[in-house]
Amino acid sequence: MSYELQMKLKENPLYIRYLREHSIWYKKLIRNPSSFSEFREEMRENYHLRPTDKINKALDAFTIFSNLMNNMV
């Protein structure tokens, strides 16, 4: 694995965690370091870190808050 790729992985603890949980990525990244973007996207999708996931989370929180306020009245 290239030094640059190792440094990218070490910068983010979530990358290390995902690598440990899905060890097939070690082999993929060693053989093809350019697949890092695929790795990053899969990790974001799996941990719900995409912008759409964050928006959905905020909307869910707003809906819960709205329901609580409606039930209090």
Distance CA(69)–CA(23), nearest Å, equals 46
Structure tokens at 44: 């974001």
Structure tokens at 65: 């808050």
Q: Is 33 exposed, middle or buried (0-12, 13-18, 19+ CB in 10 A)?
A: middle
- For residues 30 and 1, the answer to whether their CB atoms sit within 8 Å is yes
Question: pTM (2 decimals)?
Answer: 0.73
Distance CA(62)–CA(31), nearest Å, equals 45
Domain boundaries, the chain: 3-72
Walk along the chain (73 residues) and give the pLDDT tens digit of each residue: 889 999 999 999 999 999 999 999 999 999 999 999 999 999 999 999 888 878 888 888 888 888 888 888 7
| Structure confidence at residue 4 (pLDDT) | 92
